[in-house]
Amino acid sequence: DTGVSQNPRHKITKRGQNVTFRCDPISEHNRLYWYRQTLGQGPEFLTYFQNEAQLEKSRLLSDRFSAERPKGSFSTLEIQRTEQGDSAMYLCASSLSGQGATETQYFGPGTRLLVL
């Protein structure tokens, strides 16, 4: 499978617990994005990386959220002290930048989080 992969696909947790999600981008893609999608809405941008550098963060990304991409390959998104309002689908996307690249963002299957 050469697409974007995300793990786990589903996560149920209790309020106050920490959770971590992983995204593996398409192998040669140097850009990686995180989005959040709530029921009945379109995805909303959270943050993005160029290689290992986190270059933009949305105001939606509160201080309980942290994302890393330590070696410029896979990325993790951690939510600390989860709240019920964090329940959503967390989507990862990757793209290839550079001369001749289309820069199109390709999405993974998402991680669906439910906070009880």
Partner 1 sequence: AQKVTQAQTEISVVEKEDVTLDCVYETRDTTYYLFWYKQPPSGELVFLIRRNSFDEQNEISGRYSWNFQKSTSSFNFTITASQVVDSAVYFCALSGPGSASKIIFGSGTRLSIRP
Which chain residues interact with partner 1 by CB under 8 A?
Answer: 31, 33, 35, 40-45, 48, 50, 55-56, 58, 89, 91, 93, 95, 97, 102-110, 112
Q: Which is nearer to partner 1, 56 or 78 (CB)?
A: 56
Residue 81 — left, alpha, or beta (φ > 0 → left; ψ -120 to 50 → alpha)? left
Q: Which is nearer to partner 1, 18 or 51 (CB)?
A: 51
Report, in Å, the least distance between residue 87 CB and partner 1.
15
Report, in Å, the least distance between residue 34 CB and partner 1.
10
Q: Which is nearer to partner 1, 19 or 110 (CB)?
A: 110
Q: Round to whole Å and give the CA distance between 106 and 80.
A: 27
97 phi and psi, to 5 degrees? -110, 160
Report, in Å, the least distance between residue 2 CB and partner 1.
14
The radius of gyration of the chain's CA atoms, rounded to the nearest angstrom, is: 14
Residue 85 — left, alpha, or beta (φ > 0 → left; ψ -120 to 50 → alpha)? alpha
Report, in Å, the least distance between residue 16 CB and partner 1.
27
Q: Which is nearer to partner 1, 55 or 116 (CB)?
A: 55
Name residue 31's beta-bridge partners: 50, 95
Q: Round to whole Å and give the CA distance between 65 and 61.
A: 6
